[in-house]
Amino acid sequence: MSQFSENINPKLASLRHDLRTPIGQVLGYGEILLEDLRDLERPDLLADVEKIHAAGMRLLALVDDRLTSEALEPGSIPVVQVAPDSHAPDEKELTGISLSPPVFTRKESGESGLLLIVDDSEDNRDVLARRLQKQGHWAITAPGGKEALEALAEQPFDLVLLDIMMPDMDGYEVLSRIKNDPHTHRIPVIMISALDEMDSVVRCIEMGAADYLPKPFNPTLLRARIGASLREKRAHDREIRSSDQLAESYRKLKEMERLRDDLTHMIVHDLRTPLTSLLSGLQTMPLIGSLSDLQAEMLAIAEEGGQTLLGMINNLLDVEKMEQESVPLDRHPLTAAGLIERAVTQVGMLAQASGLTLIQQAPLDLPSFSGDEDILRRTLVNLLGNAIKFTPSGGTITASAEIVDQGMLFAIRDTGEGIPPEAFERIFEKFGQVESRIAGRKMSTGLGLTFCKLAVNVHGGRLWLESQPGKGSIFYFTIPHEE
């Protein structure tokens, strides 16, 4: 019959438990003694101990097979005859054998672990501890649930072997406390008991137990289930360590980014004040007196460079504010044609100097929309300036607008060198650069497109790109209808 009986009298189950416990101890000590005799090479005694162990196994089988509710019904008790062993060792044969617990050394193995044995029977604890030590583990024992919880609070165990039937605090309560404690809930628990009830096994698994072992222990099964539980725990521990290391690395990365941004903000903010003063001085120089043509040309170059640098600094500060969502929008009714015209006017001389043609395609009858005029104009200027920078002389740049379901759609088309698909995302990142750009072309800080993307985002719109190398680029963005 099955080891677990679903319909067994509680008193009979208790009797079977009480009988199986000492039988398990006999078998456990017998197995340890068998291993020691094999190591001592005592074949003369080994056969007799094997007979003792076999007799214990037969006795255990009798308890399981004969002490059942069906077998004990009136008139159905079978007559059991147990043949006596053919030979039993006498005192002379036992001479020279040390029955005291041997000293075990822990084996260095990837399967080794620190195990806690919880059982109210001292002999059960001793047998199991010696068995586990032979398998290469460290074993610490606790006589009850209270002592087990105290031991778990003091040191990290790899596994708990927990008896179900214990006085004062049974295994169910100990298991519940282990699994409800955030410091111990990850420790696997293997329940051990001589109980016959399958319900107890199911209950333990549902409460979080990793496995279940019946008494007396099968050495092979004991090794296999402990090994499996330890491997699973160590794999989980590695995941936790990796996760913790990743979280710590991410924390350090965010801290470094914050320090970098703070340093950038401090440097940029401190640069703007002296640069503004420098530009003011350059702009007032013609008022002092007349300048020669060469002097006027050099002054214009210096002022243009200063204005470019000031624009970069302002972009840095604006990008930071937009990333922190601290830019209030000054919304007003705008027309697409007027916005494009002002942006084209601002970059017109730059396009003319580069030998490019600027085209405006924005019907005057397009409906007005709401937006921040300064931010959106700077967005168009940045996109136009980007197109001018990377379009060869003789090319064409078109700024257009039309109404779509999503709102007002703007597009900046150029006949430039194009952008490879793998760079589409990078060019919108802060300080992003396209590595495939032709050497010798002007390079920017990469903040212009970042500013454009953030400026469109704060309006609730979207910015995207269509491009092929050698066939030019089209930058689109939408400004949604105001609700």
148 and 276 inside one domain: no
Residue ending a domain, choose from 305, 323, 341: 323
User: Do residues 151 and 64 both lie within one domain?
Assistant: yes
Q: Are residues 211 and 263 in the same domain?
A: no
Q: Of 281, 327, 279, whose CA–CA distance to 307 is shortest? A: 279
Stretch 431-443: mean pLDDT: 45
Which residue among 323, 346, 367 closes a domain?
Answer: 323
The band of 72, judged by pLDDT with boundaries at 50, 70 and 90, is low
- pTM assigned to the model: 0.44
Q: Give the tokens for residue 16.
A: 């079977």
Phi, psi of 163 (to 5 degrees): -75, 145
For residue 241, being part of any structural domain is answered with no
Full strand arrangement of the beta sheet holding 462-467: 357-361, 396-404, 407-414, 473-479, 462-467
- Tell me whether residue 124 is in a domain: yes
Is 197 found in the same domain as 273? no
Is the predicted pLDDT of residue 249 greater than 70, yes or no? yes
pLDDT at 421 over 60: yes
pLDDT at residue 44 in the model = 65
Mean of the pLDDT values across residues 132-155?
Answer: 91
Q: Indicate whether 32 and 107 sit together in one domain.
A: yes
Residue 446, pLDDT > 60, answer no
* Domain count for the chain: 3
204 part of a folded domain: yes
168 compared with 478, residue with greater pLDDT: 478
The CATH number assigned to the domain holding 364 equals: 3.30.565.10
Q: Is 355 found in the same domain as 315?
A: no
Q: Are residues 301 and 397 in the same domain?
A: no
Residue 207 lies in a domain: yes
| Interatomic CA distance for residues 445 and 472, integer angstroms | 22
CA–chain centroid gap for 162, Å, is: 32
Same domain, 335 and 312: no
Domain that holds residue 441: 331-479
CATH of residue 161's domain is 3.40.50.2300
- As given in the structure block, the two tokens for residue 260 are 């970098």
| Domain co-membership, 55 together with 14 | yes
Domain presence at residue 92? yes
Give the phi and the psi of residue 334 in degrees, each rounded to 5.
-130, 155
Among 199, 217, 235, the domain boundary falls at: 217
- Both 430 and 460 in one domain: the answer is yes
Question: Is the pLDDT assigned to residue 477 strictly greater than 60?
Answer: yes
Q: Is residue 54 part of a domain?
A: yes
Judge whether 222 lies within some domain: no
Asked whether residue 431 is domain-assigned, the answer is: yes
Interatomic CA distance for residues 375 and 380, integer angstroms: 9
The CA-to-CA distance between both ends of the chain, in Å, stands at 76
